[in-house]
Structure 1
Amino acid sequence: MKKGLALIALGSTVAFSAVPAMAQDAQDNFSGPRIEGLVGWDRSQPGSSVDGDSDVGIDGFGYGVGIGYDYATPSGFVVGVEGEVTGSTASTENDTSAYDAFGLGEVETGRDFYAGARVGYAVTPNTLVYAKGGYTNARYNLVASDGTNEFDDHLDLDGWRVGAGVEQALSTNTFAKLEYRYSNYEKGEFDAADLGETDRFDVDSDRHQIMAGFGLRF
């Protein structure tokens, strides 16, 4: 009996001493500044308020870079701020069905700026699950021709983004992650070479992305 009680006490001591060690590992793995490369799938399409087939959109390969800073608490929660600059190969490629439904003319997806925050929880010392949200500004390059002249203007869209993902620490200095992001753009303005920027107007455009990342933490 005494031997059994001693084993239980020893096991409890080991378990309780392991908790601070696991918390410290999570703090080391998910704290500090980070930089990352991003690749994945990118799709833009009309929003729910736009007439036409909302299933028609433009798909492409997304790519970019991100930076951020995270702080991990002793309890395993992680909060951070982040920013990204991304691009995409998505375009209508003279597909008139996509052209009509997307509602923007012949389009090529341009750069996208994002700034936001995320909050997560380290479910293990090496695995973080998180949600994110923030501001996004996307550019679409519009190409048109009247038979004589060609026009190459920009449409800049302002909106918001939400998402969720999983990050895996490969070491205290490297990580990989996978996340889904949804963006909705509600305001836009044309930036024409010969006319300058127009007044802002209402739009409704959706963007879906599945992005993988690999990064370094300092």
Structure 2
Amino acid sequence: MRKIILATATAAIGLSAAPAFAQDGPFTGPRAGVLLGYDGIRPGSTEDSDIAGDDQTANGLMYGGDIGYDIALNNVVVGIEGEVSGSTGKVRNDPVDPNDFGYGRVKAGRDLYIGGRLGVLASPTTLVYGKVGYTNARLDLTADDGTTETGREFTLDGFRVGAGVEKQLSEKTYAKVEYRYSNYGDARLQFVNGQNTDNFSVDTDRHQVVAGVGFRF
């Protein structure tokens, strides 16, 4: 994870030094936008789940916003971006064991992302790009033994990769659609009394298909 953060910071330093070589164009400069789309989070292939039924995915609506800075170098665009999002995704079962999912009855919480992207111009107003970065997410767990309902919160660390297409709509506005895959390999558990565990290993997958609109400054 440190390598991803270091690479992102290095990219940011490179972007701050690059404007002398950049070309003015529709994909250059700071930007901000809103995002909306599908979100699905589930145990990874190495995890067993005792959730009732065949569907073990917490499906829902992803919503949020992002900011970024891009530089166009001929037909190549490099950028750095950050994102804050939430999700309505949840999966309901009747677990007594809080290790089910392997977590329990789960609702997706906030998600933070920072990373970089690299793209090529398919046309003067169309960008095809890939992205990679670090993601930090939360899951809210509820366990109910029929008498007492308890809540816990997991904080997950992982990486995200994705690809998308961005279309310039006007001189300052754009729209985009992208697919993103995230995998979380480390987690911390916070109990209702505020105490936290040490980091431990997990395997949790996340698939998202989102659309966005934004404005360049």
Does TM, normalized by the shorter one, top 0.5?
yes
Corresponding pairs, count: 191
In 1, Cα distance between the equivalents of 2:143 and 2:49? 21
Aligned counterparts of 1:78 and 1:37: Cα–Cα separation in 2: 21
For 2:210 and 2:173, the matched residues in 1 are separated by 17
CA distance in 2, matches of 1:184, 1:95: 26
Q: Over alpha carbons, which structure has the higher Rg?
A: 1
Rounded Cα–Cα distance in structure 1 between residues aligned with 2:47 and 2:32: 37
User: 1:46·1:101 contact (CA, 8 Å) conserved in 2?
Assistant: no
Structure 1 contact 176–215 (Cα < 8 Å) conserved: yes
Structure 2 counterparts to residues 1-218 of structure 1, below 5 A: 27-51=24-48, 56-73=56-73, 75-94=74-93, 102-218=101-217
Unpaired runs of 5+ in structure 1? 1-22
Q: Deviations over 1:76-131 (max 9, x none)?
A: 100000000111111113366xx987321111100000000000011111000000
1:57/1:102 contact within 8 Å kept? no
- Provide the rounded CA distance (Å) in 2 between the counterparts of 1:78 and 1:94: 45
> Retained in 1: the 8 A contact 2:48–2:102?
no
Aligned amino acid, residue 195 of structure 2? G
Q: Which has the higher helix share?
A: 1
1:150 Cα deviation (Å)? 2.9
Assess if the C-alpha contact under 8 Å between 2:64 and 2:85 holds in 1.
yes
Whole-Å Cα distance in 2 between the matches of residues 104 and 200 of structure 1?
A: 15
RMSD of the alignment, in Å? Answer: 2.2
Determine the structure 2 residue equivalent to 1:20: none
Deviation at 1:195, TM superposition (A): 4.8
> Structure 2 regions of 5+ residues with no counterpart?
1-21
TM-score (norm 1): 0.81
